[in-house]
Amino acid sequence: MPIPSDLVSDLRPLGRTGISVSPLTLGTSGMGSGVEPGSQAERDAVELATAMLHGPAAVVDTSNVYGGGNSERILGLALRESGIAPGRQIVTKVDADPETGVFDRDRVLRSYDESLARLGVDRVSLLHLHDPYRIDFAEAMGPQGAVAGLLELRASGAVDAIGIAAGKVSVVGRYVESDCFDVLLTHNRFTLVERRATVLLEAARQREMGVFNAAPFGGSLLARGSASGGTYAYRPAPPELVERVRQLERICASHGIDLATAALQFSLRSPLVDSTVVGISRPERIADLEQRRAVQVPDEFWDAIDDLGVPPSVVED
């Protein structure tokens, strides 16, 4: 059953965009991969999408490329069947052409058109530039570059705000400093075990950009724990990271707090973050996340975490 629509929780501004976000944003990068039209897997995914669009989060995050386009297609099916509750919105991202890798102005406009067609909507408020890793910065900023496409969409009113959504701090920092973007989405780099993105978050804040912090569980390890063989940032976790998670689990156990709750609240409590983006693959996760959000974590717990010191970075950058 979808959660009643009056429960968009704890709205706050997304920087200077005029968009409101809730503490949690729901992510769909795992939605629809390999799902065939008309299959039971598609029905299950539509059910998940429906729960997201009627849940307590103001934003559902997708991209042109998630599930090879199926994430947007499934969100579009859910929208057509059950609509979207008041105060919620879908945010998407433009991606490079999946066949040629081209990521210029024209591709940005095509990518946005594809997204709108799959979602079955005529606009989104916020559109991110997604993972611009295969183009260099000068090319992206050139007159026919990807950023020109996004600036054009914003200037024409086709979107209200544009964001940069990617991981590598060395890449993302230049986009933030360009002052072209209204929003930053970083991932896997500001968590209980990783702080590499702190400089980005601070730079974004100085510019009054909105900030999404995605993947507070590192994609797996901090949701499942050190014994899970879980990955961090989509790669096998190195031994020193697993050892760090064991230390955290001991502190968690001594305060009666679950690791996943601590990982979620680490991001939620940061004044550098407007909204934390969590990926889920089943509807029950939504209520579970809200429960974890409500857990009272004592200051002594965070003091004990701080006493461990800033963890050595393990992500690729």
| Site for ligand NAP, rule CB under 6 A | 27-30, 61, 93, 130-131, 165-167, 185, 187, 214-220, 223, 260, 277-282, 285, 288-289, 292
Cβ of residue 82: shortest distance to ligand NAP, in angstroms?
Answer: 21
Q: Closer CB to ligand NAP, residue 300 or residue 317?
A: 317
SS3 317: coil
CB of 125 to ligand NAP, least distance (A): 16
Q: How far is the CB of 74 from ligand NAP (least distance, A)?
A: 13
Q: Which has the closest alpha carbon to 175: 166, 257, 126, 261? A: 166
Rounded CA-CA distance 198/226 in Å is 24
Distance, CA of 252 to CA of 223 (rounded, Å): 13
Residue 51, classed as helix, strand or coil, is helix
CB of 223 or CB of 305, closer to ligand NAP? 223
The distance of closest approach from Cβ of residue 28 to ligand NAP in the complex, given in angstroms and rounded to an integer, is: 6
Cα-trace Rg, the chain: 19
Whichever of 300 and 315 has its CB closer to ligand NAP, that residue is 315
The owner of tokens 């005529």 is 122
Closest CB 143 distance from ligand NAP, rounded Å: 26
Taking the least distance from each CB to ligand NAP, the nearer of 233 and 305 is 233
Position of minimal CB gap to ligand NAP: 279
Q: Which lies closer to ligand NAP via its Cβ, residue 190 or residue 301? A: 190
In sequence order, the 6+-apart residues with CB closer than 8 A to the CB of 44 are none
In the structure encoding, which two tokens stand for residue 165, read together? 């959504």
Cα–Cα distance measured from residue 20 to residue 76, given in angstroms and rounded to the nearest whole number: 22
Q: How far is the CB of 61 from ligand NAP (least distance, A)?
A: 4
Cβ-based nearer residue to ligand NAP, 85 or 184? 184
Output 145 or 219, the one with its CB closest to ligand NAP. Answer: 219
CA triple 276-185-182, angle to 5 deg = 115
Structure tokens at 315: 């992500």
* Rounded least distance, CB 100 to ligand NAP, Å: 20
The answer to whether residues 103 and 64 touch, using CB atoms and an 8 Å cutoff, is: no
**Residue 125 in tokens:** 């408020």
